[in-house]
Chains A and B, each alone.
Chain A
Amino acid sequence: MGEITSWLPSLLTGLGVTVELTVLSMIFGLVVGLVLATIRLEPRNKWLYIPATIYIEVIRGTPLILQLFFAYFALPAAGIRLDPFVAGVLALGINYSAYLSEVFRSSIKAVPHGQWEAASSLGMPWVLVMWRIILPQAGRIALPATGNYFIALFKDSALASTISVTELLFSGQILAAATFNYFGIYAVVAVFYLVVSYPSSLGLRALERRLELSRRKARPKRVTA
């Protein structure tokens, strides 16, 4: 037991790095994914559509671990030397942006066309229609898949150990190499992953239920006019 306690500080630090890595990569993936999805709504705009499509296909057609190696080991040859953590965020973010963009694109397309027509016939310009009318609805449609990707990203972030980011798995490896207690350490590492991912998926399901429109009830009337 005392042994486990001695592992905790470095494993907890590692878990912190894993969470940071996940959250930053996810933000990157969400923003870039949304931009890509918007670009790919309009195939007639070739100058943006074609590069965006190539980006998505290249990223989805190659292994994530290769993308990590590229960001950390290959880019220095091009004069770009990144800190392991930054390279990790970049590679994971780019990878997830490609997948998330497809989720967003299909969710945006799933919003009935009549919503575009009603909003634009009220004089709302494109950006406003997108931001106020389409995205709030597409967001609800995209939420389950996006949430699953978020949890998958949390686990995939362990791949960053291969480029020496001292996240949770790599912290475990360092301890294991020093103590040879592989079973004990990796079991604790597994518990750490589970302690975050399982409640996250429960929370996500609760959020989905809350946002489900058909369950939403009328708010109590406000007195002010």
Chain B
Amino acid sequence: MVFTVDKATDNSPLIQAKNVVKSYGDTPVLHDFSLDVSRGEVVVLIGPSGSGKTTFIRTLNGLETIDSGRITINGNVLADAQPLGSGKPHKPHKPNHRSLQKVRLDVGMVFQQFNLFPHLTAAENVMEAPVWVRKIPRQDARKRALELLDRMGLADRADHYPHELSGGQQQRVAISRSLAMDPVAILFDEVTSALDPELVGEVLRAMRQLAADGMTMIVVTHEMQFARQVADRVVMMAGGRLVEAGAPEQIFGSPSDPRTAKFLQSVVHPQ
């Protein structure tokens, strides 16, 4: 184990999104979307392109603001906005600086395009936030970074720059970078979509390991095999709404909504 799961005993969900509404201008993207995630749970979000998966998980670490609804993470209120016509003047909710900062320390994010810092080596990428945000001494931070990279199978790549690494290696550095801040949960947004097919497996393997270690994860992916094997719960989204949610056997075996069946069909047998 390279991270410690905070075994707080209360049973309230670690991540709680309630009635989240969000539009880009006049285009509604999330309609009254609610989702609770418990400690240690792995939730896989699936759904057609444009259904709001990315937007939703970005609201969970404040990369997107919401128009109304409430988001609580590890006891910190990230967003709490009144719906239109509730009496209070309507204003897109901007999380205050301190709760945003706190939530971002709690929730890690891994991106489709890796977004490694190109001017820093793999180890420096991993150390950067621990050293500058958590003020951990460089030597300790480097030691921890090397442990995390080793854990991701990248011990011999620690002093390489991102452009010297394959996509799969870069993405594993990105996962290490996120782990280095000891997050209570990590969000994954289609983290294998930009990879060459032969590199997908190594990243999924790393994520599988994290899940087995008890990390709380919300994973947007089209890798149905991964969802089937790793997810505690699969959530199907369409048009900014939650279509259905359930155990992977139920969603993949006997979906109750025709949109789910149709979507799964299209993923399994792409045209």
Contacts and interface: CB of A to CB of B under 8 A. Distances in A.
Interface of A: 112, 114-115, 117-125, 128, 132-133, 136-137, 140, 213-214, 216-222, 224-225
Select the residue from A114, A119, A123, A128 with max chain B CB neighbours within 10 A: A123
Given A213-B163, A218-B159, A225-B143, A121 B118 contact: no
A217 B132 CA distance: 25
Nearest to A113: B115
Contacts of A219: 121, 159
B132 A213 contact: no
A217 B177 CA distance: 21
Contact of B119 (A119, A136, A222, A225): A136
A132 B159 contact: no
Contact of B117 (A133, A216, A221): A133
A136 B159 CA distance: 18
Contact of A115 (B108, B109, B117, B181): B117
Give the bracket for the number of chain B residues in contact with chain A.
20 to 34
A119 B117 contact: yes
A105 to B, nearest CB: 20
A123 B161 contact: no
B57 to A, nearest CB: 11
30 contacts: A112-B115, A114-B111, A114-B113, A115-B115, A117-B115, A118-B111, A118-B115, A119-B117, A119-B129, A120-B63, A120-B104, A121-B61, A121-B107, A122-B128, A123-B101, A123-B129, A124-B132, A125-B101, A128-B133, A136-B119, A137-B117, A213-B118, A213-B119, A213-B163, A214-B163, A218-B160, A222-B159, A224-B139, A225-B143, A225-B146
A132 B161 contact: no
Contacts of B142: 225
Interface string B86-124: 000000000000000100110111010101111101000
Nearest to A134: B117
Nearest to B101: A123
Contacts of A115: 115, 117
A123 B105 contact: yes
Contacts of B116: 118
B36 interface: no
B116 to A, nearest CB: 8
B257 interface: no
Nearest to A129: B132
Contacts of B177: 122
Nearest to A133: B117
A89 to B, nearest CB: 32
A128 B132 contact: yes
